[in-house]
Amino acid sequence: MATSTNLGFPRIGANRELKWAVEAYWAGKIDAEELQQRAALVRRSHWDLQRKAGITHIPSNDFSLYDHVLDTSVMVGAVPERYDAPEGPVSLDTYFAMARGRSASDDAPGVPAMEMTKWFDTNYHYIVPEINRNQVFSLRSTKPVDEFLEAQALGIQTRPVLVGPVTYLLLSKSDDHSFDPLLLLEGLVDVYENILKRLADAGAEWVQMDEPALSLTLTDKQRSAFGRAYARLSSALPGLNILVAVYFGDLRQNTKAALALPVQGLHIDLVRGRADLENILAKLGEGVSLSLGLVDGRNIWKTDLEETIATARRAASVLGHDRIFIAPSCSLLHSPVDLDNEKNLDEEMKSWMAFAKQKVREVATITHVLNGGSARVAGKLAANAAAMASRRTSTRIHNPVVKERSASVTPEMSRRTSAYPERRKAQQQVLRLPSYPTTTIGSFPQTPEIRKARASRNRGELTTAEYEQFIRQEIENSVRFQEETGLDVLVHGEPERNDMVEYFGEQLDGYVSTSNGWVQSYGSRAVKPPIIYGDLHRPAPMTVDWIAYAQSLTRQPVKGMLTGPVTMLQWSFVRDDQPRSETCRQLALVIRDEVGDLERAGIRVIQVDEPALREGLPLRREDWDAYLEWAVECFRIATSGVEDRTQMHTHMCYAAYDDIIDSVAAMDADVISMENSRSDGTLLDTFRTHPYPNEIGPGVYDIHSPRVAETDEMSSLLRRAVDVIPSERLWVNPDCGLKTRRWDEVKPSLRHMVEAARELRGQS
């Protein structure tokens, strides 16, 4: 018999119960005991749900109050010294201090949080382990055992999930860059041995060790670490079955290493690594179980049951049913919780989708059919086949006009009429900007009043006309402020936007927003990505009225503000029935049309933001070029349909460009603004070795901090920039948009910024 399994369930709760509990604890509204009780309720309801769905291997320890990598650091005793918790169990407050920092109080100085970064290519952020040469690992938390026993007491046998020791070390950082964390593998494995022994004693039959690092490009030395670690764990724990889970990609160069692991089970991601299957089936060790990651854990689409059952049958025909586990491709942490909760989606739309709860049912159904039980689920299979057929043919999804336009994009469409030097002349004539022109990145503070007005409009308490009047007033205030401050290129401030992707998604055919499709982003934070379900069509201009209104108020140029195609793609759930590149091209065409409408409305400067370009990079370096090629092409399609004299800007909020600078240059924006002030000169170093051909605005102040930026700091940053960037191509702007700041922070900072630019011009 094949076994139905799950790798992990979203921990936030169907109504973000965990968020509310954790935030209430932070605010001092509930105590630790109540927090733990509420967390236990969330865990229990998820275990129950999976049991009822028919999952045999139900995960435990997939839960976390903040982050599972942080949990691992605490478990193995990797608590940096500054948290002053040298030994023994790690308290809840130390745990949260590691996650979020601690502010100074009367009796203790403040302590910064640990660094956070993206978990592989997902939008989930983990707390980066800090491991130094002298790190001594020791078991300082028994969370995996505690949660295993908690489930056991409820009559539920679970499969504990741990971040594998090699992935853990490979994700860590050290202030000593020459230090190889794998040198500490032996000591770390000692701790894992200890915890696995305790799990075995408590009655665990299987444990799941997540080693997604096996889907990265590794050195031989890194690869061999897996063999060493698991040889030790297997021999120390003969009675415990270990499943090594690899996900987020195919195995490629790591296939041999994965197959050689002396473990009882291997999980592979068949959504992203379908091509691996035959090879693995042919070479998998005697008696090793294969966990087939068939249900997409990274997206919201319903699984094609007929197709996945056929794949499962093929695997079972080679290995025998007993060695088959059916699973999602990766933990369901990355999918929203429950489609049944959705109010925004009609029945047909829902019939195409599955969130975490629906996905575990799919796993159970596939397993059931594979085990010979088709009769009982005949209805489900028929409904699934009907949904698949309707997705293939629905006119809500397929728009021949859009497809045809996308297919007939010509190379000219991704090229501006003239090269940058020509365009620059034309733009100077129209814009007549001073040297070191000043501008901002687009948004101004999203004040409580703005949020309130939007909420009132959504509840119907404000009419559309009243709401629009309110927004116009906001825009006018922003324009007046910018004029008074002396900024050169103004913005309208984006007060009408709830979110830079959702705002556009709401206005496009082929896009839909959910009411409750939250996915954890970090800690208690979740995002609600809109869904691209069909061919993308723009029924009407999306931004022109607002921008044109702002322009009507002033003689200064107002910069039109759009979100770029790659960022729209990256921050949405996307179609799985066509390549990402194709969806991106449709987005590019839609934005191109908007750019054209802005230009026709008299807008002379237009910015197309691409903050997500970098995070779209594939996990493996060898796949980068293919991605960058279509991503840059899409940006160019979106931005090249304008006259020479229209100045096109782009913006990205990171400073690490070394490895993609050629692609950034190939985007051929007239002006690019980027984060710089926090990066210790990384950005400027890049431009020293790779001169950027067009104009650049390296951010002169950090918008992430409430601190008011001082003129001197910005002047000295600018003087450093002038060393690297020719002065006639240097812009002056903050690191990023100002929506998260308050006006009383923004106003003085921008005044100082304008002062700094004037100083540089020799005007003061």
> Nearest approach, Cβ of 539 to ligand GLN (angstroms)?
23
Q: How many beta carbons lie within 10 A of that of residue 117, not counting itself?
A: 12
Q: What stretches of 612-652 show up as alpha helix (H) in DSSP? A: 624-639
What angle do helix axes 143-153 and 32-53 make, rounded to 10 degrees? 60
> Nearest approach, Cβ of 700 to ligand GLN (angstroms)?
15
Using DSSP bridges, classify how beta strands 647-652 and 605-609 pair: parallel, antiparallel or unpaired: parallel
Task: Pick the stretch among 175-183, 247-255, 270-278, 440-448 that binds ligand GLN (CB under 6 A).
Answer: 440-448
Q: What stretches of 411-463 show up as alpha helix (H) in DSSP? A: 420-431, 448-459
Q: How many beta carbons lie within 10 A of that of residue 483, not counting itself?
A: 14
561 is a contact residue toward ligand GLN (CB under 6 A): yes
Using CB distances below 5 to 8 A depending on partner kind, what does residue 561 bind out of Zn ion, ligand GLN, none?
ligand GLN
734 is a contact residue toward ligand GLN (CB under 6 A): no
Distance from C-alpha of 441 to C-alpha of 421, rounded to nearest angstrom: 24
Q: Tell me if residue 704 is catalytic.
A: yes
Contact 298, 335 (CB under 8 A): yes
Using CB distances below 5 to 8 A depending on partner kind, what does residue 443 bind out of Zn ion, ligand GLN, none?
ligand GLN
x/- map, 571-610, Zn ion, by CB under 5 A: ----------------------------------------
Task: Pick the stretch among 177-185, 322-330, 414-422, 736-744 that binds ligand GLN (CB under 6 A).
Answer: 736-744
Site for ligand GLN in 456-495 (CB under 6 A): none
Backbone phi, psi, residue 532, to 5° = -90, 110
> Based on CB atoms, which residue is closest to ligand GLN, 191 or 500?
500
Distance from C-alpha of 530 to C-alpha of 344, rounded to nearest angstrom: 11
> Nearest approach, Cβ of 548 to Zn ion (angstroms)?
24
> Based on CB atoms, which residue is closest to ligand GLN, 611 or 616?
611
Contact 359, 295 (CB under 8 A): yes
Catalytic residue among 398, 537, 690, 704: 704
Using CB distances below 5 to 8 A depending on partner kind, what does residue 258 bind out of ligand GLN, Zn ion, none?
none
> Based on CB atoms, which residue is closest to Zn ion, 215 or 440?
440
143 is a contact residue toward ligand GLN (CB under 6 A): no
Amino acid at 561: M
> Based on CB atoms, which residue is closest to Zn ion, 70 or 671?
671
User: Which of 8, 611, 697, 698 lies at the binding interface for ligand GLN (CB under 6 A)?
Assistant: 611
Backbone phi, psi, residue 534, to 5° = -145, -175
Count of residues of this chain found to bind ligand GLN when the rule CB under 6 A is applied:
12
> Based on CB atoms, which residue is closest to ligand GLN, 423 or 649?
649
First to last CA, the chain: 81
> Based on CB atoms, which residue is closest to ligand GLN, 494 or 668?
494
Residue 668 CA: distances (Å) to CA of 423, 583, 588, 600: 11, 22, 15, 21
Using CB distances below 5 to 8 A depending on partner kind, what does residue 151 bind out of ligand GLN, Zn ion, none?
none
- DSSP 8-state symbol, 646: S
DSSP-derived 3-state class of residue 111: strand
Contact 493, 547 (CB under 8 A): no
Contact 363, 327 (CB under 8 A): yes
> Based on CB atoms, which residue is closest to ligand GLN, 353 or 591?
591
x/- map, 643-682, ligand GLN, by CB under 6 A: --------x-x-----------------------------
Backbone phi, psi, residue 401, to 5° = -65, -45
> Based on CB atoms, which residue is closest to ligand GLN, 172 or 572?
572
User: Which of 609, 644, 670, 702 lies at the binding interface for ligand GLN (CB under 6 A)?
Assistant: 609
> Nearest approach, Cβ of 610 to ligand GLN (angstroms)?
8
C-alpha angle with apex 168: 164 to 171, nearest 5 degrees?
140
Q: Which residue has the tokens 């919780």?
A: 337
Task: Pick the stretch among 7-15, 54-62, 204-212, 436-444 that binds ligand GLN (CB under 6 A).
Answer: 436-444
User: Which of 345, 500, 568, 754 lies at the binding interface for ligand GLN (CB under 6 A)?
Assistant: 500
DSSP-derived 3-state class of residue 589: helix
> Nearest approach, Cβ of 709 to ligand GLN (angstroms)?
16
Q: What stretches of 328-375 show up as alpha helix (H) in DSSP? A: 347-351, 356-370
DSSP-derived 3-state class of residue 236: helix
Task: Pick the stretch among 96-104, 178-186, 315-323, 435-443 that binds ligand GLN (CB under 6 A).
Answer: 435-443
Backbone phi, psi, residue 581, to 5° = -60, -35
Site for Zn ion in 620-659 (CB under 5 A): 653
Count of residues of this chain found to bind Zn ion when the rule CB under 5 A is applied:
3
Largest CA distance in the chain: 84
Indicate the length of the chain as a whole number: 764
Could you list the residues that contact ligand GLN (CB under 6 A)? 441-443, 500, 561, 609, 611, 651, 653, 736-737, 739
Which residues make up the interface to Zn ion (CB under 5 A)?
611, 653, 736
Q: Which residues are tagged catalytic?
A: 704
